[in-house]
Amino acid sequence: MAKLVIISKGQNRLSHELGAQWVTIGRGARNAFQIVEPSISAYHCEVLFSDDVLKVRDMRSTNGTFIKDVQVVEGEVNIGETFRVGDVELRLEVSNHPEVAAGSPKNISAALATARKVASVLLVDDSMAFLETAAELFKVLGDNAWEIHTAPSADKALNLLQQHRVDLAVIDLSMPLLDGAQLLAMLQRRYPEMKKVVLTGNLNDHVRASCLAAGAELVMEKPTVADGFKGVFNMLNDLIAWSQKEGFSGTLRHVGLAEVIQIQCLGRRSSILEVRDATIRGEIYIESGIIVHASAGDLQGPKAFYKLLSLTRGLFHLQAFKAPAEKTVEGSWEFLLIEAARVRDEEKQISVSAETIHVAKRTLPDAPATPPTQSSGEEELVVVSTYDDDGTWHPVDSPK
């Protein structure tokens, strides 16, 4: 793979190995790559090495992130090039690998492909068009790190599993003869160690609950557009890598907290899920698959949990479990996630209603500065014409 190496004086040759996840860089101790230097912010920037290029994103740092002496919000760095965070300069280098000749860019891609662990994925769907589209997009998104098998029916999927080791099976529910729910139950009995995900075009609470109960790690809606495939790929990729979850980190725009919590609870794992964005930091304690405590700023318990689940931007980090000082959360994780979704929807509706009222007020005409005056006691009568006995109106020259 690749690594970042500090080449500034004083901290030269301090390095960090890059993996397949986003890496945060900053002065704070909770960064994946901590650089203790006054010019670097607590959380300065984040980087991801993909397709032989380092993607760099500044995290609203005080002293900026620079590529080729130009301050950037987002940018890219190639192998052998440098960039600067604050006053510290770093260079992107290839990790020492037996198949990489020093300074030989021609061998970089081959070495990275060899060093990358290949995951075996089985896609089961009765639509050949969907299988072809999904297989092609997943290969591109995974930079050929996935070995993808496809099966248009349950029986062919079972035959394929007898011939190949598979890390993850992705199953459609609507299939002829043996449907996806029945196949899921069979796979859970025969291959309990294999991860299983259900994709369906008819997702509802009942389908989700029954599939999770049958052994699925995730239940997601079947994508129909490219962006949808990207979201599914990110979730599947993180699920595959969960065996390496020690110190697992990520960004909320790639992985939802609900999915992270779901995986932890289904596996009856114990961990502390740290969550933060620009405005708040919190922790969710999961003990043997049960959520026992949550904190977010000054909030504790369910309110803190719902607050953290409402975040759409920021970072999360899984660390080893240690018992909290007190347990503030009760109830099943399924109920807590459903309640968090309800609270989030209510907050959105309140926000939309408030905005609608605000817009309506801005469009109403301004009220007169002072109300019309009236004489005290009696209304003033103005006569403009009179009606005579002959049935005609006669204008009056002066009002009376």
For residue 349 the two structure tokens come to 């509706």
On whether the pTM is more than 0.85, the answer is no
Alpha-carbon distance of 383 to 181, in angstroms, equals 87
Report pLDDT for 58.
92
- CA distance to 128, 146, 147, 225, per residue, from 123 (Å): 11, 12, 11, 17
Mean pLDDT by 10 residues, the chain (400 residues): 83 78 87 89 91 90 94 92 93 65 44 55 88 88 84 90 88 83 89 86 83 84 82 81 48 65 83 82 92 94 92 76 92 91 82 59 55 51 59 58
Report pLDDT for 330.
92
Exposed/middle/buried for residue 91 (C-beta within 10 Å: 0-12, 13-18, 19+): middle
**Nearest to residue 53, comparing CAs of 15, 108, 11, 117?**
108
User: 10 Å Cβ neighbour count for 367?
Assistant: 7
Report pLDDT for 82.
94
Report pLDDT for 86.
93
